[in-house]
Structure formats: structure tokens, C-alpha cells
Structure 1
Amino acid sequence: MSAPSPLQLDATDLRLLALLQDDASLSNQALADLAHLSPATCHRRLKRLRDEGVIEKQVAILSPHRVAEALGWGVSALVEVSLDVQTQEALDAFETHVVADAQVQQCWRVSPGPDFVLVVQVPDMPAYQALAQRLFTAHHQVRNVRAFFAVKRAKFGTQIPLPPA
């Protein structure tokens, strides 16, 4: 049994990915037109990119500012978390613990410095306090937590820089 071949992305794949990162709501026909492909070829390539895990999912990105404006609340925070021990088991257990919480938008293992950096979105400060109790204070391996509360979002991007197609 041979090992799977490494993933290959050609110029057409890169062009499709760049177009989708800019607007994933494009119809297959519109995407094919912009990429100079037939709709069938475009569909086949997109299916391969999904099947190979290059395209994880397609989502709508909401504006935290507009949602907060509509709902009357919203607090974003970046939180550094350090654990007492850095064994694989301890890191995996904490990661599993925090990623299960819907208010944790992103979880990054980082080095050096803290063990994790989290991006969290909560309605207000009492909700942050409840999240901190639930995720950090109640977790016996957490040694240190530093939270930074966002006052302005200057840039937010989801696009991975790709080489020119």
C-alpha cells in the first residue's frame, strides 16, 4: 500500500480559491465565468478541493459591530491562557474543553509565551465573567489568564494569501 500523493494545486485551483475567498456566494456559473472554465469543469474542481479538505466549509461572516448594534451588546476579547503543565494530554484536554464552548470563536496553541490564545465573543462583561469561571477558574490546569478587550477592529480577514494564479 503506497502513501497518499501530496496535494497539488495548479494555477486554475489557485484562481478558483482566490475567487471563493473573495465571495463564496458566487454561483457555479458565475465562478466558472470568472475563472474562464466550463461550469462542469468548475464544479468538478470544486468537488475535488472540498473532498481533499482544501475548502473546509463556506460560511457567512457577520459584522460583530452591526450585530452588537442590532442586539444592543457585544464584547470581543483575546485571551492568553497558560497551563501548569504542558504535557500532550494536558494541552489536548484543555483544548477539547474550550473548543466545545460556542463563545470561543478561535483557539490557537502558540509558542513561545502562553500555551493558548483564544478569541471570544460574549454579550457583556457579566457573560465574560461567567465564561472565565467556566473555562479558566474551574479548570485545575490553568495557571494564568490575561484578557485583552477589543475597543476597535481595524482589520479582520479570513483570506489565506495565495501565490498569483
Structure 2
Amino acid sequence: MLYAPLSKVPDHELRILGTLQTDSSLPNIELAERALAAPSTCVLKDVSVIQREIAILGHRKIVQAISAVIEIRPDRQATEDYDAFE
């Protein structure tokens, strides 16, 4: 399969692809409105242009649920080494 360099992709198609990368769940009509394109050029799901949709998870919600136990073992156990560590 041959691919066209992005410099040869028409502007309206780049706007459609950029809009899809922001939100691939948009209905065709809304996609066309946001990309300033004709609705007929935005029928991508029906012709299998979109291979898959993914979810971007909010890391702040996830991080709150993660806890970790960290163990540190010094090479030397002299008092000055512990003082330097603190």
C-alpha cells in the first residue's frame, strides 16, 4: 500500500483527521461542522478508515488509587551515612 506524504493531503482532510484525533466518537455531522468540511467527506467509520478507538485515561484519578512500598537499603550502615541520607 502506498501512502501520500502529509504535504500532499488536502487541507480539509487534515482538518478532519485532526478533529478525529481529538474526539473520534463524534457523529459524522458534528465532525463535519468542527472540521469545516462537507458531511459526505466525513463518512469514515462506515468505510473502515478508523481502525480502532481508544480511551485516554485521566492520570490524576488513577494515581490517587495507586500506592507503593519502597525499600531502600544502604551499602554502608554508619551513622554519618544515615544522616547524609535524611
Matched, 1:59 2:54: yes
> 1:32 touches 1:38 (CA, 8 Å); kept in 2?
yes
Q: Which has the higher helix share?
A: 2
Taking a change above 3 Å as real, the CA distance of residues 47 and 30 of structure 1, as seen in their structure-2 partners, is: same
Letter of the 2:59 counterpart: P
Q: CA RMSD in A?
A: 2.9
Matched, 1:34 2:29: no
Q: Which residue of 1 aligns with 2:66?
A: 73
Say how many residue pairs are matched.
66
Deviation, 1:14, is: 0.9
**Percent of pairs with identical residues:** 29
Q: TM-score of the superposition, structure 1-length normalised?
A: 0.32
Q: Which has the higher strand share?
A: 1
Matched, 1:43 2:43: yes
Letter of the 1:58 counterpart: E
Q: Which residue of 1 aligns with 2:21?
A: 21
Q: Which residue of 2 aligns with 1:130?
A: none
Between the two structures, name the one with larger relative contact order (CA 8 Å, sep ≥ 6).
1
Taking a change above 3 Å as real, the CA distance of residues 39 and 68 of structure 1, as seen in their structure-2 partners, is: same
Letter of the 1:36 counterpart: L
Q: TM-score of the superposition, structure 2-length normalised?
A: 0.54
> 2:12 touches 2:36 (CA, 8 Å); kept in 1?
no
Letter of the 1:14 counterpart: L
Deviation, 1:61, is: 0.4
> 1:31 touches 1:42 (CA, 8 Å); kept in 2?
yes
Please, which runs of 5 or more residues in structure 2 have no aligned partner? 71-86
Matched, 1:11 2:11: yes
Taking a change above 3 Å as real, the CA distance of residues 30 and 44 of structure 1, as seen in their structure-2 partners, is: same
